[in-house]
Structure 1
Amino acid sequence: MSFIHLDRPDCPEAHRPEAHHPDRKLTARKLITRTGSSPPVHCGHVAMVTRVTKNMSAKAKQSNKSADKNANDRNDVASKESDAEKANPQWKLISHEQINTLLDLTVEQVQFQFEEILGLKNYQTCLKEASLLDYFVSGFWWTREMNYTCQQISFIMALLQFLLDNISEKQMPFVDNLNEFAKMISGTRQSPSPEVDSLFDAEQAMSITDYLKCSLFQNYQLYEFLFSQPREELLLGKKVRLPASLCPYVC
């Protein structure tokens, strides 16, 4: 193995201009060829690239924070709406716009609309359907006379539906259903957030209690009987065999 000495006069490399002038600047291509690496970057370029990178990183972090905040705000709004819906459920069968329309109708027109809403086609011959129609129409008309808002009316209609379903579907005893009513009406006295008022005040909650006491709970056994009959048609009367001695006195 032989070695080439660059400082020898007979060496071909010694006759190159770079060998006699070490101060001479090398071009980037020659420097890469000789050293196998790229030339060093100027400090000003490094600083500029660093600042640009930092700015892009800061903007990305700020954008991510903004997106996270918007997502959290949407989640908070959805959570509050969900809590409000749980505390103050609305009747699913009609919207607030439909309630506004019903408020301008007469009681006969309201009854006709509820026949369609509830799907009660045989209320004139079926005691159960007639009772249901009267139950909901009377409840709606009472809320109208109380000048409640659409949201309040929708809640009361949902409450009427809930209590009646407890009788018809769950065969819930009187005391249990009364406790369910107390839970729901007490929930309307609690505000879902500091910015939102409660659905009802104390006087309104008492009025609802008095109405349901007279309309449903005092007739609880009748509603239990209504939904416990196996036949679709309930007889309004039945034949009674009377003693012969009483027949002359019967009109």
Structure 2
Amino acid sequence: MATVSLGTTPGGTTPVGTTPGVNTPDSEKNDEFQEHEKILSPDFLSTAQITDLLTEDVDGIQEKLRIFLNFKNLHTHLKDAIILDYYVSGFMWAKGMDFSVTQYSKFMTLLDMLLHNLRTLHMSLEDSIKWFGEVMAEIGPRHSQKKKEWNIFDVKQANAIIDYLKISLFQHYKLYEFMFYSTREEIVIGTENKRAEQILPTREEVAQTTYTHVSKCKNVK
């Protein structure tokens, strides 16, 4: 799975004409740019893979992602089939949004990291939404007000992503948790789906987290 680093400054080369250890406007700008470049990196899919997938129909996308994920037999591995559907559905949704290759890259990496946080880090729904808000605050329109050249998603696209993640992952979060952590006998779909809906935040709550959480945290020194 891909990894993401927020709030850290990556090591970089010292710009020509500056003294090591001395912060200059150019060096600070360079460090800030490199930090921004680390958001949702490394990429889940390469530029070449995305370009290749865009030439395929849904069946071709499914097959190539199956090979990429190294899923052998979807007929006997229900979990793999569900995970594959998660990525295929996300890619097809992004295709309908007419994203650029860069936007595809960040969106698919976002999907991958959300699943990684759930599956590997056992992140709760509340913490996952908080993490999602932190990332969107960096790559969404609020951040672009400061650095327009770093704009990845505009307001309309960011809101669409919030809506998509709400219905595709967050609304079924408990079911994904049971799939990864519990035996099949423990999964009661109707009950858990109802429980997930009861704790699911509204779009406004997700948006508020997305656009205000990081700015508040940055004010705490």
* 2:171 is the counterpart of 1:207: no
| Closer/same/farther in 2, CA of residues 124 and 203 from structure 1, 3 Å limit | same
Among 84, 100, 109, the residue aligned to 1:158: 109
Q: CA offset at residue 177 of structure 1?
A: 0.7
* 2:96 is the counterpart of 1:136: no
Q: CA offset at residue 229 of structure 1?
A: 3.1
**What letter corresponds to residue 187 of structure 1 in structure 2?**
E
Question: Contact 1:90 / 1:151 at 8 angstroms: preserved in 2?
Answer: no
Instruction: Give, in whole Å, the separation in 2 of the partners of 1:192 and 1:97.
Output: 30
Q: Note the alpha carbon deviations across 1:100-125, whole angstroms, 9 max, x for none.
A: 11111110000010011111112221
| Closer/same/farther in 2, CA of residues 147 and 77 from structure 1, 3 Å limit | same
**Structure 2 residue runs without a partner (length 5+):** 1-14, 188-221
Among 65, 69, 87, the residue aligned to 1:118: 69
TM-score (norm 2): 0.66
Among 102, 105, 109, the residue aligned to 2:56: 105
Q: Which has the higher contact order (CA 8 A, sep 6+)?
A: 2
TM-score (norm 1): 0.59
Q: CA offset at residue 86 of structure 1?
A: 2.9
Q: Tell me which residue corresponds to 2:151.
A: 198
Instruction: Give, in whole Å, the separation in 2 of the partners of 1:76 and 1:109.
Output: 45
What count of residue pairs does the alignment treat as equivalent? 167
What is the 5 A alignment of 1:14-163?
A: 67-68=16-17, 79-87=31-39, 89-90=40-41, 92-163=43-114
Question: Contact 2:44 / 2:112 at 8 angstroms: preserved in 1?
Answer: no
Instruction: Give identity over the alignment, percent.
Output: 34
Q: Tell me which residue corresponds to 1:184.
A: 135
SS state of the match for residue 153, structure 2?
coil
**What letter corresponds to residue 176 of structure 1 in structure 2?**
D
Highest Rg: 1 or 2? 1
**Structure 1 residue runs without a partner (length 5+):** 1-65, 238-251
* 2:171 is the counterpart of 1:218: yes
**What letter corresponds to residue 47 of structure 2 in structure 1?**
H
Q: CA offset at residue 137 of structure 1?
A: 0.5
Q: CA offset at residue 84 of structure 1?
A: 2.1
| Closer/same/farther in 2, CA of residues 97 and 78 from structure 1, 3 Å limit | farther
| Closer/same/farther in 2, CA of residues 161 and 179 from structure 1, 3 Å limit | same
Question: Contact 1:91 / 1:154 at 8 angstroms: preserved in 2?
Answer: no
Question: Contact 1:93 / 1:117 at 8 angstroms: preserved in 2?
Answer: no
Instruction: Give, in whole Å, the separation in 2 of the partners of 1:194 and 1:212.
Output: 25
